[in-house]
């Protein structure tokens, strides 16, 4: 009987729902195979869900991770239509969490470490997420998450230079950043972009010095841009967070 249920679960699909401050990222997986990704606003989610369910009627399980507290309307839809798991402090994680304040650990960081635990369980692993913030998360070869670092992201640095000074303009994150800026605009571009690149390279070097056989993963919205500029050997995976959420879901639905 258990074998029959397991085979049925292999057929059913997972819906991964990652709620940001303004947008919802939605992905469909069949077990560990990523099939498709969708985007929607918070208000559009119920309608988008029905469109996705029509395309993938085999969706049976879901997991919700959110940085927004008020997700009642999203949870209601998912509870009515799927077996819902919520990423919170009660859910089982596929790694040992040694973070000193686990209740403050961001759900995005938890998902990234979970993806690392699946793919690199016995490796020292550093996951760098280059998004709104730049996060560095370290998991050792004993599958223990120890923590990392949080730094302002590229866009946040441009905004900070403009918002916290009287005379510096806001610079759009476009084009190449030369080492020597010959105007205020190009100097800001150089300082922010080259500063982030130097920060990543410097921290990766330190982690490699202190941890042998280190694997480094770069993900997030600015990953492809930075990948071409950092000197260290880094693997890029734009779907690492979604894969981590899916792995947490798979681990919990078989408990």
**Which residues are part of the catalytic machinery?**
108
User: Is 22 among the annotated ligand-binding positions?
Assistant: yes
How many whole angstroms separate alpha carbon 149 and alpha carbon 230?
A: 18
How far apart are alpha carbons 196 and 220 in whole angstroms?
A: 14
Q: Is 62 annotated as a binding residue?
A: no
Q: Please give the helix or strand (H or E) that residue 7 lies within, else none.
A: helix 2-11
**247 known ligand binder:** no
Is 99 known as a binding-site position?
Answer: yes
Q: Is 181 labelled as part of a ligand binding site?
A: no
211 is in an annotated binding site: no
The annotation status of 147 as a binding-site residue, yes or no, is no
Check the annotation: does 19 bind a ligand: yes
Q: Which two tokens stand for residue 183?
A: 């105007």
Q: CA of 149: how far to CAs of 73, 110, 155, 217, in Å?
A: 33, 13, 18, 15
Q: Quote the tokens at residue 91.
A: 């859910």
For residue 213, say whether it is annotated as part of any ligand binding site.
Answer: no
82 is an annotated ligand-binding site residue:
no
If you compute the radius of gyration of the chain from its CA atoms, what whole number of angstroms results? 20
Structural element, H or E, at residue 139? strand 133-139
Please give the distance of CA 188 from its chain centroid, rounded to a whole number. 27
> Distance between CA atoms of 255 and 253, rounded to whole angstroms?
6
Contact between 130 and 221 (Cβ < 8 Å): yes
- 35 annotated as a binding-site residue: no
21 marked as binding residue: yes
Within the chain, what is the greatest distance between any pair of CA atoms? 72
β partners of residue 214: 124
State the binding site for ATP: 18-25, 132
State the binding site: 18-25, 99, 106-109, 129, 132, 184
State the binding site for substrate: 99, 106-109, 184
State the binding site for K(+): 129
């Amino acid at each position: 009987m258990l074998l029959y249920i397991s085979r049925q679960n292999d057929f059913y699909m997972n819906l991964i729902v990652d709620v940001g401050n303004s947008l919802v990222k939605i992905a469909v997986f069949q077990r560990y195979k990523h099939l498709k990704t969708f985007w929607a606003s918070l208000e559009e989610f119920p309608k988008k869900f029905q469109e996705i369910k029509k395309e993938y009627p085999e969706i049976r399980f879901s997991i919700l991770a959110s940085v927004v507290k008020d997700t009642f309307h999203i949870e209601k839809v998912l509870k009515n239509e799927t077996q819902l798991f919520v990423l919170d402090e009660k859910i089982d994680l596929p790694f040992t969490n040694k973070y000193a304040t686990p209740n403050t650990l961001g759900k995005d960081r938890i998902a990234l470490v979970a993806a690392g635990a699946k793919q690199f369980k016995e490796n020292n692993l550093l996951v760098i997420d280059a998004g709104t913030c730049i996060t560095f998360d370290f998991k050792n070869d004993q599958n223990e998450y120890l923590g990392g670092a949080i730094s302002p992201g590229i866009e946040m640095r441009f905004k900070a230079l403009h918002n916290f000074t009287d005379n510096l303009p806001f610079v759009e994150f476009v084009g190449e950043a030369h080492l020597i800026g010959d105007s205020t605009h190009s100097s800001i571009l150089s300082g922010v972009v080259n500063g982030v690149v130097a920060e990543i390279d410097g921290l990766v070097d330190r982690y490699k010095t202190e941890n042998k056989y280190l694997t480094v993963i770069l993900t997030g919205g600015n990953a492809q841009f930075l990948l071409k500029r950092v000197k260290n050997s880094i693997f890029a995976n734009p779907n690492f967070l979604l894969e981590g959420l899916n792995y947490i879901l798979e681990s919990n639905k078989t408990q």
